[in-house]
């Protein structure tokens, strides 16, 4: 039995407004660092280990997009500048588009592809076209990270594939998302597209809040076994926009449900911590966690399977009380204590082992955005190399 998302959202909002006691966060061991930020004010509404180092996976592509858009803003390139796929790009590990060496595509199409498809080969194409090499582009990424105050972040490549020394924090990812929204509001389509269309293929966004959670309008997901399922998400309600970062969930569904639950909690209340995002401290001494055993495993015959290609929500069961690895932190947090449940919550609790979902049926707000190959033959000479930053202590 699935619970209707709007009805459940309203129930939670009423429960929160009534001051219902919440169970302790410690019950949710499968979720890593989280943070909730008000976009307009930069105030932190909730955080849990937000400065802890974590593996970014494909959240890395947010900085790839930021550097590319910065190059456009500086007039070095335009969105119609063509980039050529190299042998190195074509050999990239999946997820990728599979373009052949010599294929040309514009920066505009390349950015749309990496933000929806999260294509590793196209990310390398952007890096080589704008930086001359992956290594030089990574230096450009790190320079922008330093300028933005992302003190726990270090990039080694433009796509987030596993690499020694690559790390970030929930706090830093919120800083980056806020910078993209504030500096490039005219490019918001990049992070709110529900899908792209390439030829006859329709490729849906891995951010499963878009089209399923009311008001969701961004941003980017990331996944490797070591990092778990990460998401930077944004949503707007009543003119108020929030950023939620969830790192280290153990399933794509748990990642999306957790983010949705955190949105519900903070759209229902204007309280906060009184702390600004910039003042959240990063841990620059520890090494990132590796949660491979939790995120990529097979648990029991016929049970849920979490594998390295596990970005597809449709392949996962609905979260259930008998499958705690697929039960999100925010879902548990949002449920009132047994003695003070409303009639609606009692009905939910009586459901046959199912955990209520905050995600409705998929209803995209726009048609798939077309992307295509072709464009100018090459980009202008790459940007000047940026001096390497001192390595973080954890690197």
The residues annotated as belonging to the active site are 58, 61, 118
Give the CA angle between residues 11, 27, 319 to the nearest 5°. Answer: 55
Element containing residue 169 per DSSP (H, E): none
Contact 63, 145 (CB under 8 A): yes
Contact 132, 173 (CB under 8 A): no
Number of H helices, E strands in the chain: 12, 13
Q: How far apart are CA 97 and CA 370, in angstroms?
A: 14
Q: How many CB atoms lie within 10 A of CB 390?
A: 8
| Cα–Cα distance list, 16 to 12, 128, 262, 264, 275 (Å) | 6, 50, 12, 9, 22
The pair phi, psi for residue 25, each rounded to 5°, is -60, -20
The pair phi, psi for residue 306, each rounded to 5°, is -115, 115
Q: How far apart are CA 290 and CA 31, in angstroms?
A: 13
Q: Where are the beta strands (DSSP E) in the chain?
A: 34-38, 43-48, 82-84, 104-106, 195-198, 201-204, 216-224, 228-237, 240-249, 275-276, 297-298, 305-306, 369-371
């Amino acid at each position: 039995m699935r619970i209707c998302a709007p009805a459940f959202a309203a129930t939670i909002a009423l429960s929160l407004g009534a001051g219902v006691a919440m169970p302790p966060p410690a019950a949710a061991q499968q979720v890593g660092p989280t943070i909730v930020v008000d976009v307009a004010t930069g105030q932190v509404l909730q955080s849990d280990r937000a400065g802890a180092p974590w593996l970014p996976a494909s959240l890395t592509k947010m900085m790839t997009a930021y550097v590319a858009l910065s190059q456009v803003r500086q007039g070095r390139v335009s969105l119609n500048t063509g980039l050529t796929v190299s042998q190195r790009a074509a050999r990239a590990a999946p997820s990728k588009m599979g373009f052949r060496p010599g294929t040309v595509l514009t920066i505009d199409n390349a950015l749309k592809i990496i933000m929806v498809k999260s294509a590793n080969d196209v990310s390398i194409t952007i890096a080589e076209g704008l930086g001359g090499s992956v290594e030089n582009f990574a230096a450009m990424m790190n320079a922008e990270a330093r300028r933005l105050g992302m003190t726990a972040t270090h990039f080694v490549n433009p796509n987030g594939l596993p690499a020694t020394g690559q790390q970030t924090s929930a706090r830093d990812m919120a800083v980056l998302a806020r910078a993209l929204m504030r500096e490039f509001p005219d490019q918001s389509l990049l992070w709110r597209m529900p899908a792209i269309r390439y030829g006859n293929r329709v490729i849906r966004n891995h951010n499963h809040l878009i089209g399923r959670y009311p008001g969701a309008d961004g941003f980017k997901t990331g996944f490797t076994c070591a990092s778990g399922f990460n998401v930077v998400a944004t949503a707007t309600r009543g003119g108020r926009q929030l950023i939620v970062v969830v790192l280290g969930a153990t399933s794509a569904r748990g990642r999306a449900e957790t983010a949705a639950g955190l949105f519900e909690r903070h759209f229902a209340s204007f309280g906060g911590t009184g702390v600004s995002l910039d003042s959240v401290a990063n841990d620059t001494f520890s090494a990132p966690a590796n949660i491979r055993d939790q995120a990529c495993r097979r648990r029991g015959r016929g049970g849920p399977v979490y594998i390295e290609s596990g970005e597809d929500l449709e392949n996962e069961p609905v979260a259930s009380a008998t499958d705690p690895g697929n039960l999100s932190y925010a879902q548990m947090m949002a449920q009132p204590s047994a003695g003070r449940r409303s009639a609606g919550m009692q009905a939910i609790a009586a459901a046959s082992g199912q955990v209520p979902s905050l995600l409705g049926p998929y209803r995209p707000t726009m048609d798939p955005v077309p992307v295509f190959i072709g464009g100018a033959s090459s980009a202008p000479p790459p940007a000047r190399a940026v001096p390497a930053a001192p390595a973080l202590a954890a690197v």
